[in-house]
Structure 1
Amino acid sequence: MNYELLCSKVVAIARLTGNFIRKESMNFDAAAVEIKGLNDLVSYVDKNAEKQLVRNLVKLIPDAGFITEEETINSTGKVFNWIIDPLDGTTNFIHGLPTYAISIALYEEGQPVIGVVYEINRGEMFSTYKGGAAYLNNKEIFVSKRTSLSETLIATGFPYYQFDKQEAYMQLLSEMMRSCHGLRRIGSAATDLAYVACGRFDGFFEYNLNSWDVAAGAYLVQQAGGNILNFSGGDEFIQQREILATNGIIDVEMLAIMAKNFND
């Protein structure tokens, strides 16, 4: 498998679908929004973007399976599986806020081999592949080198359902706020992770995320030299549905705060 060539084709597919999303954003009608669940929104843009991605990705590996947010296709491949979010940051998109992204990951026998995150409005294409580095618009990127949590800028997301952990999460946020330069919540986990990979953020944490939210971005962070953990320091971040991404230096400090304020 030529992963570099395959990644270049995935990048082209992401860019094509990004053009569709950008065009639709100019005249989007909020009345076209559907409600999947509590604070869980979807529009025809999400669904059509996903169909377009699937239609083009299936040509690259015909027997690959798909794990998708909008479930326009449901299949499992024996070796290869695409994990895609056609529009990560749907709420931002619906409200006219400019941060949302396409997230595409390819897993081979349960391990990531390609990760692409396309932040549409800035035209920033983050990509990586097995045997390669992590890139932003073809320029190699690395995680930050800040050594103390007190020097860092950290990203997070706020729970929008399953509020039984909200009190503990607020305690966690409170201590994190006092421990770093600042917390940011921009509303797209895929973008947050891509920003950790290129050093804009030094870390990111959130819980209740799905595989399509984090699969590509997490691989970008790893390929750029960072660490991906769950809140207990293990590597089962998708199964546990909690993710901590860092530059690989501030892990101990962040995990200590999580152990104190959030973990049972």
Structure 2
Amino acid sequence: MSTNPYINIASEAARRAGQLAVKYRSRLEGIPVERKARHDYVSDVDRACEQVIREYILKHHRDHAILGEEGGQTGSGDYVWIVDPIDGTSNYLRGIPHFAISIALQIKGRIEAGVVYDPLREEMFTAARGQGAFLNSQRMRVSGRKDLATAVVATAFPFRQRRLMEAYQAMFNSVFEKVEDFRRAGTASLDLAYVACGRLDGYWELNLKPWDIAAGALLVQEAGGVVMDVTGGDQWLQSGHILAAPFKLITPMRAAIEPHVTEGIRARVSRKIDTD
């Protein structure tokens, strides 16, 4: 158990939601699924898991706000929990064993605590600002890779905004020329967690939501890595355009990506957080 009370609350909430998600995996064909938007789906399990998380957090902090992928934001104030009840819903609904529960706590606009939980592997990734990052209570660090030529990098296509595909494809081609290989697993929070523990050497993606990246980004930072938006700034949570890697790889990754950043992508970096 962590000495940080927020980590303990988030971990237990994630564990309870994870148990529920695993329970329903054996009856996926009977789970009602709703199309939220093109290429974006929500199931009754997503909603049930978010409800479990909300109830557990509010049991301990009734005055805190919660921003959830499925339920939107309830409450207001300096303390906002950012929740993705099942990150990787498409994987989950198809029986692909790669999804996670992601919970972060934002205090006065800054992410202070984060948890990413993989219930199938029983891996709990946790981080609190200034206190390090851990995998099942063991401290973790980003990889010591120094050269992109030997790096394995994660990414994903901008499936929600296919108008970004041309710019993304140019970025992909540029990075592909420099790295050893890519991975595209479909769960942003676990991509970031894997960068934090050194399984992956870097990660970037466009057009994500706060609940996709809030917890995972803190994991990377507390594990000794660097997180930025694709223009090199610190507006990744607002824009959803994120780049994460160890210190020695972040500069060459950005150098490969930045020339292909369009004016539309730059404009989004300056917007407020988009939860639509």
Q: TM-score, normalised by structure 1?
A: 0.95
Task: Note if 1:88 corresponds to 2:73.
Answer: no
Q: Residue 22 of structure 1: SS of its match in structure 2? A: helix
- The number of residue pairs the alignment matches comes to 262
Tell me what 2:52 maps to.
Answer: 52
Contact 1:155 1:204 in 2 (8 A): yes
Q: CA deviation at 1:3?
A: 6.4
Give 2:43's aligned amino acid. S
Structure 1 CA distance, aligned partners of 2:135 and 2:41? 29
Change (3 A) 1:150 1:263: farther
CA distance in 1, matches of 2:130, 2:225: 16
Write out the 4+ residue segments of structure 1 that deviate beyond 6 Å after TM superposition: none
Following superposition, the deviation at residue 168 of structure 1 comes to: 1.9
Whether 2:111 is the aligned partner of 1:112: answer: yes
The yes-or-no answer on 1:202 pairing with 2:198 is no
Partner of residue 138, structure 1: 137
Q: Does 1:216 align with 2:215?
A: yes
Q: 1:191 is matched with which residue?
A: 190
Change (3 A) 1:127 1:152: same
State the match for 2:173 in structure 1. 174
> How far is 1:31 from its partner?
5.8
Q: Percent same amino acid among aligned pairs?
A: 37
How far apart are the structure 1 equivalents of 2:262 and 2:133? 32
The answer (yes or no) to whether the contact 2:10–2:104 under 8 Å persists in 1 is no
CA distance in structure 2 between the partners assigned to 1:22 and 1:54 by the alignment:
18
Aligned-pair distance for 1:30?
A: 5.8
Partners of 1:257 and 1:191 in 2: CA distance:
23
Question: Are the counterparts in 1 of residues 155 and 183 from structure 2 also a CA contact under 8 Å?
Answer: yes
Task: Kindly report the root-mean-square deviation, in angstroms, between the aligned alpha carbons of the 2 structures.
Answer: 1.5
- Tell me the SS of whatever aligns to 2:231: coil
Consecutive unaligned residues in structure 1, runs of 5 or more = none
Q: 1:215-263 deviations in whole A, cap 9, x for unaligned?
A: 0000111011111100010000011220001112111111111122334
TM-score (norm 2): 0.91
Contact 1:101 1:117 in 2 (8 A): yes
- Counterparts of 1:1-264 in structure 2, within 5 Å, are 4-29=4-29, 32-71=32-71, 74-264=73-263
Question: Aligned-pair distance for 1:74?
Answer: 2.6
Question: How far apart are the structure 1 equivalents of 2:170 and 2:111?
Answer: 33
Which amino acid in the other structure matches residue 253 of structure 1? P
Q: Tell me if structure 2 keeps the 8 A contact 1:89–1:101.
A: yes
Whether the 8 Å contact between 1:67 and 1:74 is mirrored in structure 2 is yes
Counterpart CA distance in 2 for 1:184 and 1:239 is 25
Q: Is the 8 A contact 1:3 1:130 kept in 2?
A: no
Q: For residues 20 and 165 of structure 1, what CA distance do their matches in structure 2 show?
A: 35
Q: State how far apart, in whole Å, the 1-side matches of 2:79 and 2:9 are.
A: 16
Change (3 A) 1:126 1:56: same
Classify the secondary structure of the residue corresponding to 1:20: helix
- Equivalent residue of 1:29, what SS? helix
